[in-house]
């Protein structure tokens, strides 16, 4: 188990965490893949020119991962790691990596870790491979074969809901409506409480287009939460390349890519599409969780949506005209996880509420908190009541559907 000394002390209550990660098992995509299709599974290989394992998605090397797949970044090490890279001194670069810890792959040991972290309930996103599969699997049948196999692994190793504490999202796509509905039905029957979709357009359509209503109707009836987590999908290949930038690992992106294609824009494109297309008017039970996109963009975004609605009153509305301000729709249906470095008290002040904000530590990733409980002091400016809402109560309400 990762040895991390508790420097925070005992909190007055347990937290909820809406951005934690597991690490995929070596056979995450192959364990349940039919034998005659194993050659199309996402898997690790040894490839010429690499001194460590790399990931192969069908016939494509995944360039978005730069680290040895047998290792993990040390939790909370990103700032120090970037400073070292900027200095050009690579003499002790190994200190930013560690063997993959048992609790990164073992749910029972993760329960112990969560208890030590003073977390009562946590979402458990996959570590990285699973978030990248859709961008690299161009054949639709191959994509869905991998999604089905992956979700069976997620359920077996982590559980869509494990002991009322760990909630692992089922991974889905909107590439093919019929296949998506079939897999959604399967994971709902297996007990999924969260589903994970990539932020971005739905292959020539808005994800809020009524064409997808059979998919959204199932989610609305089941009252499961739709999650979006930052990943490489669409914007690197179809936007960044048009501006002359190449694909590669996120830590090697240009400032322009971080600004425009790997953060704010993909999620604001997606959320504004869902809201302007009146998805929540048609399906009022749907809630959306936004993890690892930060939240500093939210106050401007909701104001801009209200203005855009006014400018477009005479324009086309795919799902019918909205009956209330987009900012109100957002606050009712969307929950956003600020980055640890975001000024959450200021966000709550500008939004007029803390109800749409949730705590997330991004543990055990390098860019996350070394100690999730450190968030307690970081948001002291909220005051006691709103701090408890942010760290605990809002998360419980999302899980309980209230």
What domains are defined for the chain? Answer: 15-24+103-400 (3.20.20.140)
For residue 51, count CB atoms less than 10 angstroms from its CB and return exposed for 0-12, middle for 13-18, buried for 19 or more.
exposed
Look at residue 222 in the predicted model and tell me its pLDDT. Answer: 98
Strands 119-125 and 97-99: unpaired
Give the chain's largest Cα–Cα span.
62
Strands 71-73 and 97-99: antiparallel
- DSSP letter string over 120-148? EEEEEE--SHHHHHHHH--SHHHHHHHHH
Query: Cα separations (Å) of 343 from 218, 375, 379?
Result: 36, 11, 8
pTM of the model: 0.94
Look at residue 54 in the predicted model and tell me its pLDDT. Answer: 72
pLDDT by residue, tens only, the chain of 402 residues: 555 667 789 999 999 999 999 999 999 999 999 999 999 999 887 777 676 677 777 777 776 566 677 788 888 877 676 666 666 666 555 667 788 899 999 999 999 999 999 999 999 999 878 888 888 899 999 999 999 999 999 999 999 999 999 999 999 999 999 999 999 999 999 999 999 999 999 999 999 999 999 999 999 999 999 999 998 888 888 888 899 998 777 778 889 988 888 889 999 999 999 999 999 999 999 999 999 999 999 999 999 999 999 999 889 999 999 999 999 999 999 999 999 999 999 999 999 999 999 999 999 988 899 999 999 999 999 999 999 999 999 999 999 998
Of 2, 169, 215, 24, nearest in space to 99 by CA? 2
Of 21, 103, 15, nearest in space to 292 by CA? 21
Of 120, 160, 37, nearest in space to 395 by CA? 120
């Amino acid at each position: 188990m990762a040895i991390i000394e508790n420097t925070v002390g005992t909190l007055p209550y347990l937290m909820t965490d809406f951005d934690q990660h597991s690490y995929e098992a070596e056979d995450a995509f192959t364990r349940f893949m039919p034998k005659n299709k194993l050659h199309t599974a996402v898997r690790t290989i040894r490839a010429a020119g690499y001194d460590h394992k790399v990931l192969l998605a069908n016939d494509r090397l995944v360039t978005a991962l730069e680290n040895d797949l047998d290792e993990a970044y040390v939790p909370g090490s990103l700032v120090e790691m970037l400073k070292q890279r900027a200095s050009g001194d690579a003499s002790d670069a190994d200190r930013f990596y560690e063997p993959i810890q048992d609790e990164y792959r073992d749910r029972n040991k993760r329960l112990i870790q969560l208890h030590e972290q003073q977390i009562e309930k946590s979402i458990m996103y996959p570590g990285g491979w699973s978030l990248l599969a859709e961008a690299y699997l161009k054949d639709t049948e191959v994509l869905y074969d991998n999604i089905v196999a992956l979700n069976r692994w997620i359920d077996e190793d982590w559980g869509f809901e494990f002991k009322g504490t760990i909630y692992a999202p089922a991974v889905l796509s909107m590439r093919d409506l019929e296949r998506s509905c079939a897999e959604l039905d399967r994971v709902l029957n297996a007990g999924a409480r969260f589903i994970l979709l990539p932020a971005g357009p739905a292959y020539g359509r808005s994800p809020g287009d009524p064409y997808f209503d059979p998919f959204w109707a199932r989610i609305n009836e089941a009252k499961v939460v739709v999650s979006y987590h930052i990943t490489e999908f669409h914007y690197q290949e179809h936007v960044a390349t048009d501006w002359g930038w190449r694909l590669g690992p996120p830590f090697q992106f240009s400032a322009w890519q971080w600004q425009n294609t790997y953060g704010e824009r993909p999620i604001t494109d997606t959320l504004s599409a869902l809201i302007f297309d009146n998805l929540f008017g048609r399906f009022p039970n749907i809630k959306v969780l936004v993890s690892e996109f930060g939240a500093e963009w939210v106050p401007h975004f909701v104001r801009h949506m209200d203005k855009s609605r006014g400018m477009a009153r005479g324009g086309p509305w795919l799902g019918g005209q909205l009956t209330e301000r987009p900012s109100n729709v957002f606050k009712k249906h969307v929950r956003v996880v600020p980055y640890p470095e975001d000024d959450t008290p200021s966000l709550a002040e500008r939004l007029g509420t803390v109800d749409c904000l949730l705590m997330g530590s991004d543990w055990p990733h390098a860019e996350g908190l070394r100690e999730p409980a450190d968030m307690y002091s970081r948001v002291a400016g909220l005051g006691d009541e709103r701090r408890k809402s942010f760290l605990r109560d809002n998360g419980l309400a999302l899980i309980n559907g209230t």
